[in-house]
């Protein structure tokens, strides 16, 4: 599908409360969404996902038979629709509950209540993911860029690779942690690295430190895409020489801008 518009999006809303479903549906309609499918449980949502093949799933975190985390993981592990964009709407704010959702790759995590602007941003991100025409990278030759994606979550790696693919970047290698990334860096030259912060064996900061202090590619641009909220840790990452930091979830347009800035700086 190419150049899909909001009016063409089919959205599956998974919410046990009929009142909350009406609120979400009204907000979607206000944004031009015409096709809305409803489910009040995770299992019903999975059945409808197979039957209706919606373009986007919007779910609450707490469902009667599973959590939104369980639901997005079931979707990501499925063979028929693993890349379906997923959006969470929840009043939950605790890191330990939201981080697994972020790691699975989502177009947005919206609060209750959410604003029209927050919903529109997440819907726009959905369109970017579904559009088969790569976003323009300006003067950069996306086909020539070679990128290393580092994240211990296979879901997150796949999501980041998909975002990069929407920018026209296809030469993408993947590493599951910092140590694995170092092996890849010793074997290949990359135009930039996209890495998570929290990883086993060697985290994102340690990876950046090694690149800046010991690697033959010491000036290699590094974009850190992370859900880390500790300001002291993020400050230490900045000091280590990371080129840019982007929150999870993120917009493709934001990543595009950061990549252009990073790569242009090294030219």
pLDDT 10s digits, 188-221: 999 999 999 889 999 999 999 999 999 888 999 9
For residue 44, count other CB atoms closer than 10 A to its CB.
16
Is pLDDT above 80 for 136? no
The answer to whether domain 6-130 and domain 142-266 are alike in fold is yes
> What average pLDDT does the segment 126-143 reach?
79
Q: Name the pLDDT band for 2 (thresholds 50, 70, 90).
A: very low
Q: Name the pLDDT band for 20 (thresholds 50, 70, 90).
A: very high
Domain positions in the chain are: 6-130, 142-266
Q: pLDDT tens, 219-251?
A: 999 999 888 777 777 787 778 788 988 888 888
- Give the lowest-confidence range in 49-53, 71-75, 164-168, 181-185: 164-168
Is pLDDT above 60 for 118? yes
Decide which of 3.40.50.1110, 3.30.530.20, 3.40.50.2300, 3.40.1190.20 is the CATH code for 142-266. Answer: 3.40.50.2300
Q: Name the pLDDT band for 128 (thresholds 50, 70, 90).
A: confident
> What average pLDDT does the segment 18-30 reach?
97
CATH architecture of the domain 6-130 equals: 3-Layer(aba) Sandwich (3.40)
**pTM (predicted TM-score):** 0.85
User: Would you state the pLDDT for residue 266?
Assistant: 60
């Amino acid at each position: 599908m190419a150049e899909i518009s909001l009016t063409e999006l089919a959205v599956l809303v998974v919410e046990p409360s009929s009142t909350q479903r009406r609120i979400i549906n009204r907000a979607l309609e206000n944004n031009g969404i015409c096709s809305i499918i409803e489910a009040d449980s995770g299992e019903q949502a999975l059945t409808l996902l197979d039957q209706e093949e919606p373009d986007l799933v919007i779910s609450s975190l707490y469902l009667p038979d599973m959590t939104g985390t369980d639901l997005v993981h079931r979707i990501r592990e499925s063979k028929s629709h693993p890349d379906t964009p997923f959006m969470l709407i929840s009043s939950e704010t605790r890191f330990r509950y939201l981080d697994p959702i972020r790691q699975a790759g989502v177009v947005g995590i919206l609060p209750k209540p959410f604003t029209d602007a927050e919903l529109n941003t997440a819907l726009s991100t959905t369109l970017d993911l579904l559009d088969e025409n790569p976003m323009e990278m300006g003067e950069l030759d996306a086909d020539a860029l070679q990128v290393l994606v580092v994240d211990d979550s296979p879901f997150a790696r796949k999501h980041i690779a998909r975002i990069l693919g929407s920018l026209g970047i296809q030469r993408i290698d993947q590493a599951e942690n910092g140590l694995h990334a170092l092996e890849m860096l010793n074997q290949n030259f990359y135009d930039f690295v996209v890495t998570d912060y929290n990883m086993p064996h060697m985290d994102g900061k340690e990876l950046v430190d090694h690149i800046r202090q010991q690697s033959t590619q010491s000036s290699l641009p590094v974009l850190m895409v992370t859900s880390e909220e500790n300001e002291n840790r993020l400050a230490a990452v900045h000091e280590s020489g990371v080129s840019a930091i982007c929150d999870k979830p993120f917009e493709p347009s934001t990543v595009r801008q950061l990549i252009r800035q990073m790569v242009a700086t090294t030219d």
